[in-house]
Amino acid sequence: MLSKIIGSVIGTKNDRELKRMRQIVAKVNAQEEAIAALTDEQLKDKTAEFKSRFDSGASLDSLLPEAFAVCREASQRVLGMRHYDVQIIGGITLHEGKIAEMRTGEGKTLMATLAIYLNAISGKGVHVVTVNDYLAARDAELNRPLFSFLGLTVGVIYSQQPAQEKVDAYQADITYGTNNEYGFDYLRDNMVFSLAEKKQRPLNYCIIDEIDSILIDEARTPLIISGQADDSSATYALINNIIPRLKRSTDEEANKENEDGDFWIDEKNRSIEISEKGYEKIESFLIEVGELDENESLYSPTRLPLLAHVQAAIRAHHIFVKNVHYIVDNGEVIIVDENTGRTMPGRRWSDGLHQAVEAKEGVEIQAENQTLATTTFQNYFRLYDKLSGMTGTADTEAAEFKSTYDIDVVVIPTHKPIARIDLDDQIFLTKLGKYKGIIREIKEIQAKGAPVLVGTATIEASEELSYLLDQEGIKHNVLNAKQHEREAEIIAQAGSPRAVTIATNMAGRGTDIILGGNWQAHITDEERVSPEEMQRLKSAWQKKHDEVLAAGGLHIIGSERHESRRIDNQLRGRAGRQGDPGQSRFFLSLEDDLMRIFAGDRVVNMMRAMGLKEDEAIEHKMVSRSIENAQGKVESRDFDARKNLLKYDDVANEQRKVIYSQRDDLLAEADLKEAIEEMHRDVYDALISQFIPPGSIDDQWNIDGLEDELESEFKYYLPINDWLDEDRRLDEDGLREKIIQTAIQRYRDRREQMSPENAAQLERHFMLQSLDRHWKEHLTQMDQLRKGIHLRGYAQKDPQQEYKRESFELFQMMLGAIKSDTVQDLSRVHIPTKEELEAMEAERLAQAERQRMMFEHDELDSLTGERHNDPEVAALNEAPQSSRPAANGENPYQGMNISRNAPCPCGSGLRYKQCHGKI
């Protein structure tokens, strides 16, 4: 209350920001007359002038008024569109590294061109991020004429793009692409063996379209590059047969003293818990089929993976529902995005859940994968020097944007006042009653001649409503994951008079619904349409447009409330664009998930006590408050989950930065001699300490063991006993230094047998191979550590602090192992010729070309357990899952002194005897 009173007196923070920006808008407008007087050539030359001024020390802020005026004038001449003052405010917001909340239909794409143009002047690159490839290509093509006129280059990145084309796209002044592609390119760039293979430039400035979708909805889905692990499909099929034998408990919560079933389900957190009776039943079955020995249990150390299979199978059967969470298409289980309703081909759930669902549905069970590289969207986008974004709904998440990304949200005023009317919710007892109420509403709206957009939360709901509309003889279109091919066509005509469109969640987001329909969608080739035909189409559209306006505009019907108010607002925002009339209303029932799981018993009992008929609705403040409270609980829970993920990933992120920085140094350094010698000192010093403890006397020394270990590990015999016999004064420090210096000198002698270039190439090859192999293993260990770290809470320890401590210990061990392996490999390998080195490199490049990589998102979240492959990049062929010898059977390492148990030099991760050294 106090904050409202103060705000009414001095204005809100947003009001003060807008007031400040309007002063800048006045400066932009003051430039308009002079800029409009320029010829096309003079206008084009302005870009070169701005670049020169920037290079001479002028800031982008000082260039903003004139640069914005130039961009606006160029847009008017090239695109036929002039930026409104509110779009200028939006452009300022983006340039300042903030989020512009702009309502649907207000022109976010055009607004962004201002900040893009200004920041492209620096020559450091501007990345524009969209949620899918279609929008990236569309926005790039829409704006390319404008930017080309102004002398700037535009590139688009996409999956399966030729390497040089992708490099060119990143070298362009402005690059468009999806969040997934940018993130995966970053990970792939940190797996290359030469700087020339890198695609991205240093990350400078980024504008994220639909920033709430990418940084909030997808924040729990880290990007993962993975390769195939061992196949355990037979185990999944076996475990699947157990599930029908298990009984779900009727209790809502786990009750150890009253076990009336084999497992409990927590629907809020999408988790399960197995009862003691359930464990006994499962173990009995596994012993019966030979998967467990009589003296083993599911908690035996070697059997924990089997327990994970069982838990995944129960979740697959009892929590994840076909046509709600996934569909089955052509024998493949495809995840449905709960935020958009779109299918996500290629994405896969983690922790064996996807394989469990495949076993449940009786389709081919695909192998699990091992993580090779990973990051989160949260940490990737925080790498940019300046980050900004735009969306129609961000203000509800302003606190999270500030705390996580240190970005402020600025609500941009609309060009025209919003005319949409948001009606009160209608609440019904049953889902069927709710559907009847929706159909009744659709009939009333259709009778007026207005179009209707019905938003559903699931494919199942959209198909149920579609069936009921068919029964009523109401013509309609369905837009869900199963009809994604017709998405653009359906959305284009969703604003036509009396049109009824059912859309799953936010399917079609990013495309405006134009009242009267989109007349341009009827034109397939503008060059073949006569001016008369064009005019006829425009006139027909104008008639329809006026008819829809007279009927009250687009009507939005929500078939249920979503867990997030922001998604509800996104659905509402489809109506009332640019001052158009419109209307929205949500229809709810006590059987909706949100009401069933989160609404209090008091609300349910009150409604049932009123004796309502099935198709009768009520509007009540208490129910509305209960819904808002439920949404608040879910939003708070999800925010906490994202914060928790970030705390854990921040630990991994610091380690990732160290490893990637080391990789870059390795790639950039021409002479690695000094670094290799330092590695020799560290590795030999650590090894000596195992046999000659620091501060010990000679009676405690194990010289024979040290000699054997040195010969075994490094193929290098040192006569240490003879040294001691020859020099009785040789103490611990002196002996330690003599061994280290002798080893370093041996390395120098071997190195001098090669040219400096060949030596550096060999050293770089083994260092990168060792680093990548151990980093991959470290990621697996970190993942396992994170999954079990919550158990430390039972020992009264802080899981996060324990995770930090143990992950640091693992990291230190990994760094030691990288050094040790590198020194061992360099000590063992015979001195290669230039031709052999070239053959090694050629084989590595050919291997990367031959092999396939799977790219995943990993939902590190107890709420969903999802792990996904990116749909656009699932088929790229850029890095190893596993490796095999060259197709022609030749071994490029023939003649090198490589141990058969040593890692193969090709980088496959296999032992030499299992790869190129295979007999």
Q: What are 408-431's pLDDT values in tens digits? A: 999 999 888 888 888 888 888 889
* Residue 864 confidence (pLDDT) above 50: no
Give the per-residue pLDDT at 629. Answer: 81
Q: Return the structure tokens found at 431.
A: 């889902």
**Total Cβ atoms within 10 A of residue 836:** 18
What kind and span of H or E run contains 116?
helix 108-120
- Do residues 165 and 117 make contact, with C-beta atoms less than 8 angstroms apart? no
Average pLDDT of the residues of the chain: 82
Most confident of 127-131, 230-234, 788-792, 830-834: 127-131
Helix axes 108-120, 60-78, angle to 10 degrees: 130
Q: How far apart are CA 789 and CA 800, in angstroms?
A: 8
Most confident of 59-63, 288-292, 363-367, 529-533: 59-63
Give the per-residue pLDDT at 602. Answer: 66
Q: Exposed/middle/buried for 697, CB within 10 Å: 0-12, 13-18, 19+?
A: exposed
Most confident of 212-216, 491-495, 619-623, 825-829: 212-216
* Residue 698 confidence (pLDDT) above 90: no
* Residue 198 confidence (pLDDT) above 60: yes
* Residue 227 confidence (pLDDT) above 80: no
Query: Strand order of the sheet with strand 332-336?
Result: 326-329, 332-336, 343-344
* Residue 129 confidence (pLDDT) above 50: yes
Distances (CA, A) of 525 to 354, 511, 520, 529, 534: 44, 21, 10, 7, 11
Helix axes 799-828, 703-714, angle to 10 degrees: 80
Type of residue found at 158:
Y
- Three-state secondary structure call for residue 753: coil
pTM: 0.73
Type of residue found at 257:
E
Helix residue ranges per DSSP H, 290-386: 304-318, 353-361, 377-381
Instruction: Tell me the average pLDDT across 294-306.
Output: 65
Q: How far apart are CA 334 and CA 354, in angstroms?
A: 9
Q: How far apart are CA 718 and CA 708, in angstroms?
A: 9
* Residue 87 confidence (pLDDT) above 90: yes
Domains parsed from the chain with CATH numbers: 2-225+378-411 (3.40.50.300), 242-367 (3.90.1440.10), 424-637 (3.40.50.300), 646-849+882-914 (1.10.3060.10)
Helix residue ranges per DSSP H, 450-583: 459-471, 487-492, 531-550, 565-572
Q: Return the structure tokens found at 650.
A: 């921040």
Q: How far apart are CA 910 and CA 904, in angstroms?
A: 6
Furthest CA-CA distance within the chain: 108
- Three-state secondary structure call for residue 689: helix
Give the per-residue pLDDT at 835. Answer: 78
Instruction: Tell me the average pLDDT across 306-333.
Output: 89
- Under DSSP, the state recorded for 322 is B
Q: Return the structure tokens found at 10.
A: 């001095």
Q: How far apart are CA 608 and CA 414, in angstroms?
A: 43
H, E, C per residue of 36-103: HCCCHHHHHHHHHHHHHHHHCCCCHHHHHHHHHHHHHHHHHHHCCCCCCHHHHHHHHHHHCCCEEECC
Give the per-residue pLDDT at 646. Answer: 84
Residue 207 β-bridge partners? 128, 388
pLDDT tens, residue by residue, 52-64: 999 999 999 999 9
The dihedrals phi and psi of 844, each to the nearest 5 degrees, come to -60, -45
Instruction: Tell me the average pLDDT across 22-45.
Output: 96
* Residue 595 confidence (pLDDT) above 90: no
Q: Which of 117-121, 314-318, 478-482, 881-885 has the lowest mean pLDDT?
A: 881-885
Give the per-residue pLDDT at 111. Answer: 96
* Residue 173 confidence (pLDDT) above 60: yes
Distances (CA, A) of 281 to 250, 275, 293: 18, 10, 14
* Residue 809 confidence (pLDDT) above 50: yes
Give the per-residue pLDDT at 904. Answer: 55
Give the per-residue pLDDT at 368. Answer: 63
pLDDT tens, residue by residue, 682-691: 999 999 999 9
Most confident of 527-531, 623-627, 634-638, 740-744: 740-744
Give the per-residue pLDDT at 301. Answer: 43
Calculate Rg over the CA atoms of the chain: 32
Q: Return the structure tokens found at 784.
A: 């396992």
Most confident of 190-194, 234-238, 437-441: 437-441
pLDDT tens, residue by residue, 399-414: 889 988 999 999 999 8
Q: Return the structure tokens found at 368.
A: 């699990």
Residue 478 β-bridge partners? 502
Give the per-residue pLDDT at 528. Answer: 66
Q: Return the structure tokens found at 663.
A: 């990789």
Residue 218's pLDDT band, with cuts at 50, 70 and 90, is: confident
Written as one string, the DSSP assignment of 860-887 is --TTT--EEE-TTTTT---S-SS----T
Distances (CA, A) of 71 to 30, 64, 141, 386, 715: 14, 10, 17, 21, 68
- Do residues 560 and 437 make contact, with C-beta atoms less than 8 angstroms apart? no
Distances (CA, A) of 51 to 36, 55, 58, 173, 823: 21, 6, 9, 12, 49
Instruction: Tell me the average pLDDT across 426-452.
Output: 92
Q: Which of 3-7, 323-327, 804-808 has the lowest mean pLDDT?
A: 3-7
* Residue 757 confidence (pLDDT) above 90: no
Tokens 């529902």 label which residue? Answer: 321
Q: How far apart are CA 294 and CA 817, in angstroms?
A: 39
pLDDT tens, residue by residue, 90-104: 999 999 999 999 987
Distances (CA, A) of 81 to 271, 389, 538: 52, 22, 19
Most confident of 102-111, 140-149, 275-284: 140-149
Q: How far apart are CA 856 and CA 347, in angstroms?
A: 7
Q: Return the structure tokens found at 839.
A: 């053959």
- Under DSSP, the state recorded for 916 is T
Q: How far apart are CA 119 and CA 97, in angstroms?
A: 11
Residue 884's pLDDT band, with cuts at 50, 70 and 90, is: very low
- Do residues 371 and 224 make contact, with C-beta atoms less than 8 angstroms apart? yes
Q: How far apart are CA 66 and CA 91, in angstroms?
A: 13
More confident residue, 465 or 611: 465
Report the b/e string of 632-653 with b at 16+ CB within 10 A: eebbeebbebbebbbebbebbb
- Three-state secondary structure call for residue 100: strand
Tokens 């006397």 label which residue? Answer: 697
Q: How far apart are CA 448 and CA 550, in angstroms?
A: 9
Q: How far apart are CA 115 and CA 128, in angstroms?
A: 11
Distances (CA, A) of 763 to 140, 196, 210, 712, 821: 43, 18, 45, 21, 12
Give the per-residue pLDDT at 851. Answer: 44
Q: How far apart are CA 407 and CA 412, in angstroms?
A: 15
**Total Cβ atoms within 10 A of residue 915:** 22
- Under DSSP, the state recorded for 675 is H
Distances (CA, A) of 590 to 182, 448, 593, 622, 627: 42, 30, 8, 14, 11
- Do residues 359 and 178 make contact, with C-beta atoms less than 8 angstroms apart? no
Query: Strand order of the sheet with strand 174-178?
Result: 154-156, 174-178, 126-130, 205-209, 386-391, 99-101, 409-411
What kind and span of H or E run contains 328?
strand 326-329
**Total Cβ atoms within 10 A of residue 475:** 10
The dihedrals phi and psi of 453, each to the nearest 5 degrees, come to -115, 120
- Please provide the distance, in angstroms rounded to a whole number, between the alpha carbons at the two ends of the chain: 80
Q: What percent of the chain has pLDDT over 70?
A: 83
- Do residues 264 and 273 make contact, with C-beta atoms less than 8 angstroms apart? yes
Give the per-residue pLDDT at 258. Answer: 60
Residue 875's pLDDT band, with cuts at 50, 70 and 90, is: very low
Give the per-residue pLDDT at 110. Answer: 95
* Residue 586 confidence (pLDDT) above 80: yes
